[in-house]
Each structure stands twice: as structure tokens, then as C-alpha cells.
Chains A and B, each alone.
Chain A
Amino acid sequence: MNSPSDELIEGANGGIQPGRYYGRGVPYLPIDGYPGKLIAIEGTDGVGRSTQILLLREWLEVKGYGVIETGWTRSPLMQPTIELAKASNTLNKLTFVLLYATDFADRLEKEIIPALKAGFVVLSDRYIFTALARAGVRGTDRQWLRNLYGFAIAPHLVFYLKTDVETLIGRVLASRGMDFWESGMDLKLGDDIYDSFRAYQNKLLREYNSMAEEFHFRNIDARKPVEVIQDELRRQVAAFLEA
């Protein structure tokens, strides 16, 4: 379908405005001028996002900011359905993408937007980039995906915890092990889970890297010690909030 290109999410420097909808937003929810701030922490599985968010929240609250956390697939509406679908392996890639988008819409309307309206700092553990990366490596049309997520709000800050696949393998094995979905076993990239994990995560990393410029990622080297990463996050968040 042809549509005016100025309404689409455009490529690098394509006029993304933090705190506004990326594209065709939710017409019945005008969000302009809401005082809250949206900060997204992105990165693949096992990169240490939750630890960093925990520390960041603590620090922000000590400084007197109200903080609300939101995550990927945590909406009460969709969580049971997504878990069911994952377990039964009946999802094809298109329904997978749409279920996640539904879940995100639910959280956006019921958690994120009200929190921004009330002046909270919203820390998002993963954001739409996770969905774009996962669907992108599975061959879903990239422009369609960007139009779909046109109702998402562009975060004020996007931190991308960047790592390499070797580091990732070490961390995942040392913690909970490789699982079916994290290893992209549905893509049939390799016969065993290790080969599949490596190939899949490599593809994911490439996909994230390709989005860095488009969505104004702030890259953070996730291979550094936890405290070093946290200091960097705090420095950048403080610079933004106190500006």
C-alpha cells in the first residue's frame, strides 16, 4: 500500500522525536507534553539488562525520581497466550510478531503512557527493537514491521548493551543454559542447540547493529564489569535528566 512517506518510520536521522510516536500513533491518546521520560535498555539475552536496571532504579529513586519498570511480554492480557503458544510451538512468525505487538500495545496504553503522564521515569527492559530484531532475522518485511510499531513511543534514551557472541555463550552457559527460543531452534539453523545458538545470536547481533543509527542507540560495551557499565549509564542518564 502506498502511503505518505513522511508518516512512516524513516531511516537514519529521519525525524524521530523522543517522547513522540514513531509513526502513525494512537489517535485517541495524544501524548504531547507529558512530563515523564522513557528509557529503554536493549540487548540480547544474557547481556545483563536486569542487573543494570535494578541498579539504575535504585539510584534514580535515591535521587528522588519516581520509577516504573516495564518488560517485554509482561502484560496480564497476553502473557498466558504467549506462553501457551511458545509451549505448543504452534506459532508461525507472523502471528508471533502480532502477539508481541498486542502485548506491547496493552502495556503501552495501561502502563507506559499513564506513567509518562504522571511524570515517572519509565525503565523498559527491552523495547520494540527486540521484536524488530527477532522478526527481522525471521524474514518478516522490515517496512511492515516499522509501520506496525508506528504506535510505539520513541524513547528519550535507548541504551544498547552491546556484546559479541563468544561472551554471550559463556554467560548463558554459566547461568541458565540455552533454551529453544533463545537458540532460534525454530529457524533450523543448525542440528544441535549450540550451533543454532551461535548462528542465531550472530544474526540477532547483526540485526541490532543495523538498527543502531536508525533508532539512535547509545552503545554501551556490555563486556565491561557491571559497575563500569552502571557508572556509564548513570552518567548519561544524569546528563539527560538534569539538562
Chain B
Amino acid sequence: MLNNLMQPHEYPGKLFVVEGIDGSGKTTQLGLLAKWLVAEGHRVFVTEWNSSALVKAATKTGKKKNALTPMTFSLLHATDFADRLLYKIIPPLKAGMIVLADRYAYTAFARDVTRGVDRQWVRELYSFAVRPDLALYFRVPIDVSLDRLTARRVKLKFYEAGMDMGWSANPTESFRLFQGSVLEEYDRLVDEFGLQVVDASASITAQQRVVRERVAPLLTPQAERIHEQPVG
């Protein structure tokens, strides 16, 4: 039985993950964290959920025709994740780099279960995933996230708003219902997987201070310097 997600990995690198719903500000925080780490001389690699070329085509077709079911949505994202894990995440970890992941398996646990996929099944599905050294969960009230998205004049995405569930024809109302339910799933994950909660309604600077405080103790200087041998 695979159990990777529950036990520490043995790679020399570090894997830091940010989680949270759209409008939680996690991507902003990840960007600032990356800036700081690079400025401190670390080698950093950033990867996003749903960014692998292999499955992008299929997801696009599926989304366009509204053809994805909760199960195929879940499995496609797992395929994408597997591809990214093996090509983009594990190699830099082996090379002793810091990998920053914008969303991780926990996104699937929260969203897929909200769509009606079996809670235990999706956990077993992702049991091949590498356990992060730190997973930060940016917890935000639904209204704050909606305000942020509206202020940026972001058009709510079909699947992000859970429009496929048919709970409401109004995107904002659908987002509120769907992501509200996603938030409840995230709350389960906090204890189960040891996610560290960051209050995402605080100011950007205050949040970033918390982020860096949590990351700092995990940075092992020798992990980076071990590879800094003279060339030639």
C-alpha cells in the first residue's frame, strides 16, 4: 500500500505548498516567498496546479463541451499532477532545490469531495504524492475572497465557481455555495494532514511575515551549499 503522502520524503530538497480557495491570496504570498528565497541565495522552482502540457488539451476539450463529470475531472487532475510530480517536482527535490507548489493534492481533496467524489477514494488516489515539508493553508471567509476577485474584475471561472454542479445559474451565488463547501473540506484537512493555517484576511505584509517565519526554520543551509562545488 502506497503511503507517501503520510511519511516524510528523503530528498535533499524542500517542498513548500500553498493552499486555499481562489481569492485567498495564496499566489501573491507564494510569489513574495519566492522573491525572498531567491534573494537569500536559494535555488527555487515554482510549479502550479493544472499546468502540465500533456493533459491541458483534454481538460480544454472537456471544459469547452462541459463534458467533465466529477470523476473524470478528478482523474484528469490526478493525471496532470502525476505528470508534474515526476517531471517537475521530484527532479528539483533530488537536486536539492526548493520547490514551491501553488496548490497540491489537498486542492483535489477539497474540491473533488465537494463535487461528490468519495473522500477516501481520492485520498488513496493521491497516495503516491510526496509529502510536503510545509503546507500553508490560507484560510479566508468566502465574502473576503469574493470581494478580492470582484475588485480585480476577475470573471469567475466555470469550474472554480462550481457551475458544473448546477447549484445556481448565477456565477457569484454558485461560487459562494461551492467554495463555501470547499472551505469546509479544507478545514477537515488541517488536522488530517497537518496543514498550517494562515489568516488570509490579514494584510499582505503581515501574512508574508508569518509565511517567512514558518519557512525559515525548515531551511537547512547545507542542503543548498552541498551542491556549490567549483566548476571544472
Closest to A25 in B: B118
Q: Tell yes or no: A26 within 8 A of B by CB.
A: yes
Q: How would residues 11 to 40 of chain A score, 1 for a CB under 8 Å from any chain B CB and 0 otherwise?
A: 000000000000111111000000000000
With A94-B86, A102-B79, A151-B71 as contacts: A84 and B121 at CB distance below 8 Å: no
A137 to B37, CA, bound (A): 42
Q: Tell yes or no: B61 within 8 A of A by CB.
A: yes
Chain A residues near B5 (CB, 8 Å)? 1
Q: Tell yes or no: A85 within 8 A of B by CB.
A: yes
Chain A residues near B70 (CB, 8 Å)? 28
Assess whether B116 is in contact with A27, with CB atoms less than 8 Å apart.
yes
Q: Which of A96-155 contact B (CB under 8 A)?
A: 98-99, 101-102, 105-106, 108-110, 141, 143-144, 147-148, 150-151
Partner of A144, one of B1, B83, B120: B1
Q: Tell yes or no: B125 within 8 A of A by CB.
A: yes
Q: Tell yes or no: B15 within 8 A of A by CB.
A: no
Assess whether A101 is in contact with B61, with CB atoms less than 8 Å apart.
no
With A90-B54, A95-B54 as contacts: A1 and B124 at CB distance below 8 Å: yes
Assess whether B116 is in contact with A28, with CB atoms less than 8 Å apart.
yes
Assess whether B127 is in contact with A144, with CB atoms less than 8 Å apart.
yes
Q: Tell yes or no: B62 within 8 A of A by CB.
A: yes
Assess whether B75 is in contact with A84, with CB atoms less than 8 Å apart.
no
Assess whether B1 is in contact with A106, with CB atoms less than 8 Å apart.
no
Q: What secondary structure prevails in chain B residues at the interface with A?
A: helix
A108 to B121, CA, bound (A): 17
A-B contact count (CB 8 A): 99
A145 to B44, CA, bound (A): 33
Chain B residues near A78 (CB, 8 Å)? 58
Q: Tell yes or no: B170 within 8 A of A by CB.
A: no
Q: Which of B59-116 contact A (CB under 8 A)?
A: 61-62, 67-72, 75-76, 78-79, 82-83, 86, 116
Assess whether A24 is in contact with B118, with CB atoms less than 8 Å apart.
yes
Assess whether B123 is in contact with A1, with CB atoms less than 8 Å apart.
yes
Q: How far is the CB of A150 from chain B (nearest CB, A)?
A: 6
Assess whether A77 is in contact with B125, with CB atoms less than 8 Å apart.
no
Q: Tell yes or no: A3 within 8 A of B by CB.
A: yes
Chain B residues near A91 (CB, 8 Å)? 54
Assess whether B125 is in contact with A148, with CB atoms less than 8 Å apart.
yes
Q: Tell yes or no: B149 within 8 A of A by CB.
A: no
Partner of A147, one of B71, B72, B121: B121
Assess whether B120 is in contact with A77, with CB atoms less than 8 Å apart.
no
Q: How far is the CB of A174 from chain B (nearest CB, A)?
A: 36
Q: How far is the CB of B225 from chain A (nearest CB, A)?
A: 32
Partner of A98, one of B1, B67, B82: B82
Chain A residues near B123 (CB, 8 Å)? 1, 3
Q: Tell yes or no: A51 within 8 A of B by CB.
A: no
Q: How far is the CB of A89 from chain B (nearest CB, A)?
A: 12
Q: Tell yes or no: A175 within 8 A of B by CB.
A: no
Q: Tell yes or no: B220 within 8 A of A by CB.
A: no
Q: Tell yes or no: B150 within 8 A of A by CB.
A: no
Assess whether A109 is in contact with B118, with CB atoms less than 8 Å apart.
no
Assess whether A77 is in contact with B58, with CB atoms less than 8 Å apart.
yes
Chain B residues near A143 (CB, 8 Å)? 1-2
Assess whether A102 is in contact with B72, with CB atoms less than 8 Å apart.
yes
Assess whether A102 is in contact with B121, with CB atoms less than 8 Å apart.
no
Assess whether A77 is in contact with B83, with CB atoms less than 8 Å apart.
no
With A27-B116, A95-B82, A105-B69 as contacts: A150 and B57 at CB distance below 8 Å: no
Assess whether A109 is in contact with B71, with CB atoms less than 8 Å apart.
yes
Q: Which of B1-26 contact A (CB under 8 A)?
A: 1-3, 5-6
- Can you list the 10 inter-chain pairs with the closest CB atoms, starting with the nearest? A98-B79, A28-B116, A102-B75, A24-B121, A81-B58, A147-B124, A24-B118, A105-B71, A94-B82, A95-B83
Which residues of A pack against B, CB within 8 Å?
1, 3, 7, 23-28, 76-78, 80-81, 84-85, 90-92, 94-95, 98-99, 101-102, 105-106, 108-110, 141, 143-144, 147-148, 150-151
7 contacts between A and B (CB under 8 A): A3-B123, A77-B61, A77-B68, A78-B58, A81-B57, A105-B72, A110-B69
